[in-house]
């Protein structure tokens, strides 16, 4: 450090500090039309005067930065003729960006233990090493960021890899699928369309060549056998219409819209939640909250309504109200007789 506390890049022989300064100088000059005075440059980059001279020479000679000193305006700038064409070589990150990237990878690693870890770990270790050079406290990311999966189901790494490879390479995939709803195992060819992470579990949206239609497969129930010919491609509009218009993970067209009233107590939470992109909602005069959402298969919607107990009432349609009422009566029957 210099006597005034500013960073002595070359004297410390700290390569990461030098890269940080190069990156910051490029950001300062790339998007501005005014000049950067010598004092501003030294202050922004935290450089001593003598170090700044050598640093600017390094930027011009080694990195070929179009850096010029405009005497008429009294400061540094990029040559207007070369400004837009010049980019720094390679991939550059400052400490804040590395921390953000490391946090993102920490989140990915926790999405489902084991599935993404082989891909994430090497890059995360590299980023952590860079941050250690910057003394940016990368260990705090691991100590302070917590992901708490609820009701997650284990997906085998080899099945996840096979599905993602077929998805990206646009190949068909032969699979064994064990359906929970039908309690059966079937072998089929599928054309993967989208990989979905929903409520702490992985799903694969695919065209099923056995059923001749779009289906959603839970990856924990799927066993990949082999890849095959080119996949059948479904356009995004069709996928959205069939797979995302209704409530929850179940596919199919919208057949009804549910109107649900939540108590004033529950409204404090529900009012800030999005249950579906096409929902509508409003406050009622008595403090309750009205939520209206489209749905097709009611299975998941009924389960979510039941979680609120007496704080949620289905207003319409009548068939959904009857289904929720039946489920509540069946639950109550379990408690009618003391054990």
Residues 226-281 have pLDDT tens digits of 999 999 999 999 998 888 888 888 777 899 999 999 999 999 999 999 999 899 99
Q: Name the strand (E) or helix (H) holding 293.
A: strand 289-295
**pLDDT given at position 16:** 41
Average pLDDT (22-50) is 89
Q: Does domain 157-243 have CATH number 2.30.30.530?
A: yes
| Joined tokens for residue 72 | 């008429």
Q: Is the pLDDT of residue 7 over 80?
A: no
Percent of the chain with pLDDT over 70: 77
Task: Answer yes or no: are the C-beta atoms of 152 and 172 closer than 8 Å.
Answer: no
**pLDDT given at position 130:** 60
**pLDDT given at position 279:** 95
Q: How many residues does the chain have?
A: 339
pLDDT confidence band for 101 (50 / 70 / 90): low
- What's the Cα-to-Cα distance from 47 to each of 36, 94, 330, rounded to whole Å? 14, 17, 73
Q: Is the pLDDT of residue 35 over 50?
A: yes
Rounded Cα–Cα distance for residues 152 and 28 (Å): 46
Task: Please tell me if the domain spanning 9-78 has the same topology as the one spanning 157-243.
Answer: no
DSSP state of 74: T
Does the pTM of the predicted model rise above 0.75? no
Q: In the chain, what are the domain boundaries? A: 9-78, 95-144, 157-243, 256-333
Task: Classify domain 256-333 at the CATH topology level.
Answer: Alpha-Beta Plaits (3.30.70)
Task: Answer yes or no: are the C-beta atoms of 224 and 233 closer than 8 Å.
Answer: no
**pLDDT given at position 266:** 95
Q: Is the pLDDT of residue 137 over 60?
A: no
**pLDDT given at position 252:** 78
SS3 assignment, position 100: helix
**pLDDT given at position 339:** 59
Residues 280-334 have pLDDT tens digits of 999 999 999 999 999 999 999 999 999 999 999 999 999 999 999 999 999 999 9
Q: Name the strand (E) or helix (H) holding 16.
A: helix 15-30
Rounded Cα–Cα distance for residues 227 and 165 (Å): 9
CB atoms within 10 A of CB 67: 20
Rounded Cα–Cα distance for residues 159 and 200 (Å): 17
**pLDDT given at position 142:** 61
Rounded Cα–Cα distance for residues 25 and 28 (Å): 5
CB atoms within 10 A of CB 33: 8
Task: Answer yes or no: are the C-beta atoms of 255 and 195 closer than 8 Å.
Answer: no
Question: In CATH, what number does 9-78 get?
Answer: 1.10.10.10
Rounded Cα–Cα distance for residues 165 and 51 (Å): 50
């Amino acid at each position: 450090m210099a006597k005034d506390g500013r960073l002595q890049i070359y004297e410390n022989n700290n390569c990461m500090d030098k890269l940080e300064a190069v990156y910051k100088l490029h950001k300062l000059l790339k998007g501005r039309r005014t000049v950067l005075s010598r004092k501003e440059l030294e202050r922004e980059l935290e450089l001593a005067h003598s170090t700044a001279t050598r640093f600017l020479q390094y930027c011009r000679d080694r990195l070929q930065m179009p850096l010029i000193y405009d005497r008429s305006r009294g400061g540094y700038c990029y040559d207007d003729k070369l400004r837009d064409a010049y980019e720094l070589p390679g991939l550059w990150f400052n400490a804040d960006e590395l921390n953000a990237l490391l946090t993102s990878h920490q989140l990915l690693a926790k999405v489902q233990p084991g599935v993404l870890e082989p891909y994430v770990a090497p890059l995360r270790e590299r980023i952590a090493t860079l941050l250690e050079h910057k003394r940016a406290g990368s260990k705090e990311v691991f100590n302070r960021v917590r992901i708490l999966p609820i009701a997650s189901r284990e997906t085998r790494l080899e099945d996840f890899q096979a599905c993602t490879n077929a998805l990206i390479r646009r190949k068909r995939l032969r699979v064994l699928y064990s359906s929970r709803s039908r309690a059966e195992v079937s072998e089929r060819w599928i054309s993967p369309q989208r990989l979905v992470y929903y409520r702490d579990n992985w799903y694969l949206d695919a065209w099923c060549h056995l059923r001749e239609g779009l289906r959603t497969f839970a990856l924990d129930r799927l066993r990949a056998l082999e890849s095959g010919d080119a996949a059948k491609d479904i356009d995004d509009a069709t996928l959205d219409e069939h797979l995302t218009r209704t409530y929850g993970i179940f596919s199919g067209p919208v057949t009804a819209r549910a109107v649900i009233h939540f108590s004033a107590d529950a409204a404090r939470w529900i009012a800030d939640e999005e249950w579906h992109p096409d929902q509508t909602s409003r406050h009622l005069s008595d403090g309750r909250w009205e939520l209206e959402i489209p749905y097709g298969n009611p299975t998941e919607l009924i389960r979510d309504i039941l979680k609120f107990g007496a704080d949620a009432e289905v207003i319409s349609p009548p068939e959904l109200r009857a289904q929720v009422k039946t489920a509540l009566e069946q639950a109550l029957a379990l408690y009618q007789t003391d054990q």
